Amino acid sequence: MAELANCERCNRVFVKQFREICNACYKKEEEDFKTVYTYLRKRENRAATMGQIIAATGIDEHLLHKFIRENRLQPSQFPNLSYPCERCGNPITEGNICDDCQTQLKEDLMQHEAVESLQEKTFQETKEKTYYAKGEWKKD
């Protein structure tokens, strides 16, 4: 169902359905994409770096990252295109985080699971050594 929202780019109120931006900003974004794609289609520009693309087209770097994340510009066709890892900022060409961060997160998760397992084992051992009395206590 449609709802009112503010455009992420221009802050105008619009009816949000499929996109996070208003139609005017969407059209501008599409024009920017065509500009970048036209620039990269030329043989001499296919190996252009992010800095070269920004300087030649005047397009915002965040918008270029968005095009790459959405697979509209594919690093397999344009080898020097990348965007920053969400965790450390190193350049990557696919996914959200780099291989080093993935490895670190896996190690952290395994360490956390080991600590939880040890805590559960300690709790079970303590529980086994505890004696419980059933019934009422009688005072003499």
Q: What is the pLDDT of residue 91?
A: 87
The per-residue pLDDT for range 8-63, each reduced to its tens digit, is 889 999 888 888 899 999 999 999 999 999 999 898 888 888 889 999 999 999 99
Closest CA to 118 of 108, 129, 126, 107: 126
Q: Would the pTM of this model clear 0.75, i.e. be above it?
A: no
The per-residue pLDDT for range 82-131, each reduced to its tens digit, is 888 899 989 888 888 999 999 999 999 999 999 999 988 888 877 766 66
